[in-house]
A and B are shown apart, each in its own frame.
Chain A
């Protein structure tokens, strides 16, 4: 069984670890921009498999120790 994280917790992590980020819905997912990088593949669902969040964190350069405090890594 793959672990999932509520979308609300992902938002809290972004607020706490990725100041100045931008997130918005697209037709098929969510687009997140931070630090000059764009991640186009965050799922649009209320519960998100943690692998997707881990990949977004690596892509955008979010501090992993910070993300762990929000159970997002």
Chain B
């Protein structure tokens, strides 16, 4: 089958993203860095970005960039809400960790993410047009994780250096280079 036809048939798109936030809480300040997974597809005439890790989040937009920006904004607002309801840094860290790692009950989006990646690898196809300009990353090289650090005056063993800064980004999942 020609490569272009494989690309056109792909309905689910496996996306990887990296975000970093600085969150004030009740008596603490935290830095949260995460490498996550989302699934993008078109539904009802819009692009939807559905969380895989973290799973419990969704956002839509007229194009993929708009969907990502809304997803990014909602992610930060969830961190704000968790901070609002956490009495201590430890409580905050526990709840953020749960939010990030709690999978969907049916695991449907995670299965579709893995299936989409397998389809890309089988077909050796290029990302379809809306994703053509996104960077490409191999999931094996960017495993999902979340790091929650206390960075206020009571912080211990935390690195406060410019090299710790992480830009927001999202990328199309792609096979690992041979």
Contacts and interface: CB of A to CB of B under 8 A. Distances in A.
Q: Mostly helix, strand, loop or mixed at chain A's interface?
A: mixed
Interface string A36-73: 01111100000001111011101111000000000000
B56 A41 contact: yes
Q: Secondary structure of the B side of the interface?
A: mixed
A40 B106 contact: no
A40 B60 contact: no
Contacts of A51: 43-44, 46, 48, 50, 58, 60
Contacts of B85: 26
Interface string B67-104: 00000001001101110110000000000001100101
Contacts of A16: none
Interface residues of A, number: 25
B44 A2 contact: yes
B70 to A, nearest CB: 11
Contact of A27 (B48, B84, B98, B105): B84
B81 A27 contact: yes
Interface of A: 1-3, 26-29, 31, 35, 37-41, 49-52, 54-56, 58-61
- What are the 8 tightest A-B residue pairs by CB atom distance, in nearest-first order? A61-B105, A28-B77, A55-B58, A26-B81, A2-B44, A41-B57, A59-B104, A2-B46
